[in-house]
Amino acid sequence: MARGINKVILIGNLGGDPETRYLPNGNAVTNLTLATSDSWRDKQTGQMQERTEWHRVTFFGKIAEIAGQYLRKGSKIYIEGRLQTREWEKDGVKRYTTEVIVDIGGTMQMLDSRGDNDGASRAPVSRPQSQPQQQPQSQPQQQQRPAPSVQHDAQPAPDYDSFDDDIPF
Amino acid sequence: MARGINKVILIGNLGGDPETRYLPNGNAVTNLTLATSDSWRDKQTGQMQERTEWHRVTFFGKIAEIAGQYLRKGSKIYIEGRLQTREWEKDGVKRYTTEVIVDIGGTMQMLDSRGDNDGASRAPVSRPQSQPQQQPQSQPQQQQRPAPSVQHDAQPAPDYDSFDDDIPF
Amino acid sequence: MARGINKVILIGNLGGDPETRYLPNGNAVTNLTLATSDSWRDKQTGQMQERTEWHRVTFFGKIAEIAGQYLRKGSKIYIEGRLQTREWEKDGVKRYTTEVIVDIGGTMQMLDSRGDNDGASRAPVSRPQSQPQQQPQSQPQQQQRPAPSVQHDAQPAPDYDSFDDDIPF
Amino acid sequence: MARGINKVILIGNLGGDPETRYLPNGNAVTNLTLATSDSWRDKQTGQMQERTEWHRVTFFGKIAEIAGQYLRKGSKIYIEGRLQTREWEKDGVKRYTTEVIVDIGGTMQMLDSRGDNDGASRAPVSRPQSQPQQQPQSQPQQQQRPAPSVQHDAQPAPDYDSFDDDIPF
DNA sequence: TTTT
DNA sequence: TTTT
């Protein structure tokens, strides 16, 4: 249940490869930065101006695994998520970081045509404990075809804090 | 022109009265904080949980004047804006603040029924320079009825019918 | 999985009481019409113009039950759904009706303050078969407090056609 | 001014080339159909199901010209518009057609990578009256580079920094 | 700091 | 009628 609406819709390109980690409970968390840019003609100088906005995006759960596996630096994606501001401390000073959370209830969709970004998905990051650590990197990829879209749902707040012993991004 | 989409949609309540200031060029800027909250039943304990998210919202231009004049602490509003992160420095340390910008291209709409929040709009903050500072507070308000909605862009209804002598599609 | 995005966001008022029916499988379907209106000043005449748009909204599943129970004529709601066009036939002529579908993956939120619309939820429409038809109207309502918001999720296409032996709306 | 919100967001592919016409007042109108599709696994049969939804989209004004010139059958686009239902009559029978209107206040953005769809924009449809009819089709195209994005509203970056001599919030 |  |  929600009192209010908190919705973010972005289309942009990844500033770098996504980074996937796993929570103690086995759930995946994927971080990436997304660029959206505006350009306009300056009224005074007549020059074209451009401003790029960088967004910190965090995926949770199944969608985090897919994001980590199929997205690469430069990938263009559509996401639908919600704003969340975390408080953290450094040198005794409180700081705040605002992220776009994409979990159950959010959406991600790849917008690159036919397997761009060299067409290859990456080997999934092995989960701690639940998978043997000598897992071969060269294992055959079971997913040959791109999985460009994920829509999942719901509410349960992901157990994020317990994971966040270091500062993401 | 935009490369990418950067859109935020919020429905929430103001945490305090909005604050309006004026730029040197006479344009208004209004700041406020907006609360959106989620509640859900914890799977483990069965207890209801609630989390409130606070959003910093900045209005520019005409919509900033309206926000400053008609909104109050507790007002429920719908806004549509874009994410923007500012960098600032304190004690030689860089910090970042993410805000939701509502300007031309954005939208604000009051959702309180019929002039709630004691029904009174507030006297507009006088602009520096451009208005005499002895402006009487008791001047008759020209806006008696709530102006619950502002949409910086669109409205003019296209003259579609006059064109439609045959059925498109 | 989706190829593409199909999203509708509306805030408006109900044109009449919602109508709830039950599918053979027991799932609820609630229909209502929602008005959104625009007004603008005509450039030529200087007169204010207004245009009201009426939207046909169909809820499925749990959210349909809540909509049927808590919404009334005049209720102001926020909905998030998707566009869907149905084909039907009358007198041998094909016709099309476009609706906004709100099911798993969509959202509804009541925007009336504190139990407006006389504050009373209505007795739920009895389900065919699954509940005795002499169900008393005066049964104690188990939901005393308004449930103004529902957010649910997912994909499975509702079995709509099998129900649609007459034309809704 | 709007009482209510009426917003549609679509990402899909054009089912055919767009068709542009000009109103008597010289304004462009462009029609196209856009496909969005969903697929899911049927719970009962385990088979993959797919449903394609076709949307009628109408652009007005400057954005209509750009849509007519740069889009082609198969183009993938993002649009933001509003729902509008028109009434029309055929053989004495009233019918209704629901369209997504994209005009001032709406947005269109091409999502194909770098000038796909054979990379060529089409010669603009000549306007009636306002342009000489012997206008050569073979005139050199002034737009060589794709214009993938149009946003009818927003851009001018507010002069925020010059104001920000103290830290808001 | 809001709201129900 | 699109796309993967």
If 0-12 CB within 10 Å is exposed, 13-18 middle and 19+ buried, where does residue C92 land? exposed
Question: What single-letter amino acid sits at C59?
Answer: F
DSSP state of B167: -
C-alpha to C-alpha distance for D60 and A3, rounded to whole angstroms: 36
Mean pLDDT along residues D93-102: 95
CA→C1' distance for A168 and E1 (Å): 28
| pLDDT value for B164 | 34
CB contact under 8 A, D39 and C12: no
Phi and psi at residue A163, in whole multiples of 5°?
Answer: -95, -25
| B131-140, C47-56, D6-15: the lowest-pLDDT one | B131-140
Mean pLDDT along residues C141-160: 41
Pick the residue with more confidence: D21 or B124? Answer: D21
Give the pLDDT band (50/70/90) at residue C48: confident
DSSP state of B122: P
| Percent of chain C surpassing pLDDT 90 | 53
CA→C1' distance for B9 and E2 (Å): 17
Tokens of A146: 């791109």
Angle, alpha carbons B75-B78-B82 (nearest 5°): 125
Question: Which residue is closest, via its CA, to the C1' of F1?
Answer: D15
If 0-12 CB within 10 Å is exposed, 13-18 middle and 19+ buried, where does residue B67 land? buried
Shortest Cα–Cα distance, D92 to chain A (Å): 44
CA→C1' distance for D2 and E1 (Å): 29
Angle, alpha carbons D111-A98-A74 (nearest 5°): 30
Which one of A37, A38, A77, A117 makes the best mutation probe of the D interface by having the most chain D beta carbons within 10 Å? Answer: A38
CA→C1' distance for C145 and F3 (Å): 46
| pLDDT value for B100 | 98
C-alpha to C-alpha distance for C130 and B130, rounded to whole angstroms: 71
Pick the residue with more confidence: D69 or C121? Answer: D69
CB A115 within 8 A of CB A146: yes
- CA-to-CA dists, residue C96 to A80, C32, D95, angstroms: 30, 18, 8
Residues from chain B that touch C76, judged by Cβ atoms under 8 A, are 111, 113
Count Cβ atoms below 10 Å from residue C100 Cβ, excluding itself: 23
| pLDDT value for A128 | 55
Shortest Cα–Cα distance, B2 to chain D (Å): 6
Closest partner CB to B3 (pick from A1, A37, A98): A37
Q: Which residues contact C131 (CB under 8 A, 6 or more apart)?
A: none
CA B109 to chain centre: 8
What is chain B's alpha carbon radius of gyration, rounded to the nearest angstrom?
20
Asked if the C-beta of C46 comes within 8 angstroms of chain D's C-beta atoms, the answer is no
Question: Which residue is closest, via its CA, to the C1' of E4?
Answer: C114
Give the pLDDT band (50/70/90) at residue D46: confident
Question: Which residue is closest, via its CA, to the C1' of F4?
Answer: A114
B with D: how many residue pairs have Cβ under 8 Å apart? 124
Which one of B8, B40, B78 makes the best mutation probe of the C interface by having the most chain C beta carbons within 10 Å? Answer: B78
| pLDDT value for D153 | 39
Q: 3-state DSSP call for residue C28?
A: strand
Mean pLDDT along residues C107-127: 67
Mean pLDDT along residues B5-12: 98
| pLDDT value for C121 | 61
Q: Averaging pLDDT over each range in B36-40, B53-57, C135-139, which range is the top one?
A: B53-57
C-alpha to C-alpha distance for B10 and B34, rounded to whole angstroms: 8
Pick the residue with more confidence: D19 or D139? Answer: D19
| pLDDT value for B82 | 97
| pLDDT value for D140 | 39
Shortest Cα–Cα distance, C64 to chain D (Å): 21
C-alpha to C-alpha distance for C28 and C63, rounded to whole angstroms: 8
| B2-6, C136-140, D30-34: the lowest-pLDDT one | C136-140
Give the pLDDT band (50/70/90) at residue B41: confident
Mean pLDDT along residues D105-127: 70
Give the pLDDT band (50/70/90) at residue B2: confident
Is residue B79 within a helix (H) or strand (E), and if so which, with residue range? Answer: strand B76-90
| pLDDT value for A116 | 46
Tokens of C84: 């869907």
C-alpha to C-alpha distance for A5 and C9, rounded to whole angstroms: 11
Looking at the predicted structure, is the pLDDT value of residue D50 above 50? Answer: yes
- Per-residue pLDDT reduced to its tens digit, C80-93: 999 999 999 988 88
CB contact under 8 A, D10 and C6: yes
Q: Averaging pLDDT over each range in A153-162, C45-54, C112-121, C145-154, which range is the top one?
A: C45-54
Tokens of D145: 């580079």
A with B: how many residue pairs have Cβ under 8 Å apart? 106
Pick the residue with more confidence: D104 or C146? Answer: D104
Shortest Cα–Cα distance, D47 to chain B (Å): 32
Closest partner CB to D11 (pick from C1, C5, C82): C5
pLDDT averaged over chain C? 77
C-alpha to C-alpha distance for D86 and A167, rounded to whole angstroms: 54
CB B130 within 8 A of CB B101: no
C-alpha to C-alpha distance for A136 and A34, rounded to whole angstroms: 31
**pTM of structure:** 0.79
Helix residue spans in chain C (DSSP H): 62-70
Residues from chain D that touch A113, judged by Cβ atoms under 8 A, are 76, 112-113, 116
| pLDDT value for C114 | 55
Strand F-proximal protein residues, Cβ less than 7 Å: A 113-115, 145-146, 148; C 3; D 12-16, 33, 35, 37, 52, 54, 73-74, 76
Q: 3-state DSSP call for residue A41?
A: strand
Q: Is nucleic acid strand E under 7 Å from B16's C-beta? A: yes
C-alpha to C-alpha distance for C102 and C82, rounded to whole angstroms: 7
Q: Averaging pLDDT over each range in B133-142, B158-167, D6-15, D133-142, which range is the top one?
A: D6-15
Which nucleotide is nearest to A4 if distance is taken from CA to C1'?
Answer: E3
| pLDDT value for C150 | 59
Question: What single-letter amino acid sits at B77?
Answer: I
| pLDDT value for A134 | 42
Mean pLDDT along residues B85-98: 92
| Percent of chain D surpassing pLDDT 90 | 54
Any chains having at least 3 CB pairs less than 8 A from chain D are A, B, C
Shortest Cα–Cα distance, A48 to chain C (Å): 31
CB contact under 8 A, C51 and B109: no
| pLDDT value for C111 | 95
Residues of chain A with pLDDT under 70: 1, 114-169
Count Cβ atoms below 10 Å from residue B66 Cβ, excluding itself: 23
Q: Which residue of C has its CA nearest to A80?
A: C5
CA→C1' distance for B65 and E1 (Å): 22
If 0-12 CB within 10 Å is exposed, 13-18 middle and 19+ buried, where does residue D51 land? exposed
Give the pLDDT band (50/70/90) at residue D68: very high
DSSP-assigned letters across all residues of A93-126: EEEEEEEEEESTT-EEEE-SSTT-GGG-PPPPPP
DSSP state of C127: P
State the SS3 of chain D. CEECEEEEEEEEEECCCCEEEECCCCCEEEEEEEEEEEEEECCCCCCEEEEEEEEEEEEECHHHHHHHHHCCCCCEEEEEEEEEEEEEEECCEEEEEEEEEECCCCEEEECCCCCCHHHCCCCCCCCCCCCCCCCCCCCCCCCCCCCCEEECCCCCCCCCHHHCCCCCC
Question: Which residue is closest, via its CA, to the C1' of F3?
Answer: D13
